[in-house]
Amino acid sequence: MDVQVGDLLTMKKPHPCGSKQWKVLRTGMDFKLKCTGCGHEVMLPRVKAEKNIRVIEREGKPVC
């Protein structure tokens, strides 16, 4: 799955704050993601994050 820094991810499961969109701050073995609703930052193993991704957006356009 092609995820790059700066991408906007729409997840299947919403964050407790209600937002489903996360900004990608770092990729690699782990993703660092920032919730666009409350600004919360998390580190997630790549495999776990990828399972939860519904849409990847880059520059406002969906890439998958």
Kindly tell me which residue out of 9, 24, 33, 35 binds Zn ion, with binding defined by CB under 5 A: 35
**Binding region for Zn ion (CB under 5 A) out of 6-14, 18-26, 42-50, 56-64:** 18-26
Nearer to Zn ion, 2 or 26 (CB): 26
Q: How far is CA 6 from the centre of its chain?
A: 9
State the Cα–Cα distance between residues 62 and 8, nearest whole angstrom: 9
Q: Which two tokens stand for residue 2?
A: 């092609």
Binding region for Zn ion (CB under 5 A):
15, 17, 19, 35, 37-38, 40
